[in-house]
Amino acid sequence: MTIDLTGRSALVTGAGSGIGRAVAVVLARYGARVAVAGRRADALEETARLVRDAGGEALAVPTDVSVEADVERLVDATVAAFGGLDLACNNAAIVGPEGAITDLTAADFDLTMGTNLRGAFLCLKHELAAMADGAAVVNVSSANATLPERGAALYCTSKAGLDMLTQVAALENADRGIRVNSIRPGFVVTPMHDGVLESIGGATPENVAMIEGMVPLRRRADPEEIAEAVAWLCSDDARYVTGSMLTVDGGISISPGG
């Protein structure tokens, strides 16, 4: 099995750090030209530099995926720069406000869903319209799509909704030869996850050990491990895979404590 994305054009959202940055670099390493999107222009430029260092052609497009005009501009810029759109990884997400459902507000709901679900919907809407036979989309979901967590109603719900959106998109576009899948990471060493650890005192050795003790494989994933799975789903090696949720969580979802 050899992944070869030579000559293919890709788009990655949430590419300023973490999983999104790793996906952009890995896709470039396999030969893709990559447009990177996110809210922070400086972080995007650093990702674009890493893409070029990996041998790829890069385009940085500052984007708020919750704003349709931004998403439309992102897809148009990618098509204009690369001549088309073959691959997309919709990774942009926030943890969002946490707390008991009775303490959360409608504004909290709108904030989380605006990025995690509305953003993915807008990306799919415009990406799929620009794609043709042989294209592939990977949405970055979470193990929390099926694992409820106290205080995380909004995040968990947004990811469960994303997986259903993935399946509907896969059905609607199968006859066009376009595949749509989700990937469900667990604990990954990213700024987002370290931010979550702040709520329990930060990414201290003790807290990291406690978190990793919940994982059957006894460690958090490196972002590149998630990116490699995304690259496989984008590749011709996965050409018969669509509407699937690929779980890459070190076994959390099958553990008794999961």
Catalytic residue flag (residue 141):
yes
Q: Give the E-state strand segments of the chain in sequence order.
A: 9-12, 33-38, 58-62, 87-90, 136-140, 179-185, 245-248
Which residue among the candidates 17, 30, 142, 159 is catalytic per the annotation? Answer: 159
Catalytic residue flag (residue 155):
yes
Instruction: Provide the H-helix boundaries in 14-67.
Output: 18-29, 41-53
Which residue among the candidates 9, 17, 66, 141 is catalytic per the annotation? Answer: 141
pLDDT by position in tens, the chain (length 258): 589 999 999 999 999 999 999 999 999 999 999 999 999 999 999 999 999 999 999 999 999 999 999 999 999 999 999 999 999 999 999 999 999 999 999 999 999 999 999 999 999 999 999 999 999 999 999 999 999 999 999 999 999 999 999 999 999 999 999 999 999 999 999 888 777 777 778 888 888 888 888 899 999 999 999 999 999 999 999 999 999 999 999 999 998 765
Would you state the structure tokens that stand for residue 1, as one six-digit string? 């099995």
Which residue among the candidates 142, 155, 158, 235 is catalytic per the annotation? Answer: 155
Catalytic residue flag (residue 30):
no
- Is the CATH number of domain 9-186+221-248 3.40.50.720? yes
Q: Please state the pTM of the whole predicted model.
A: 0.94
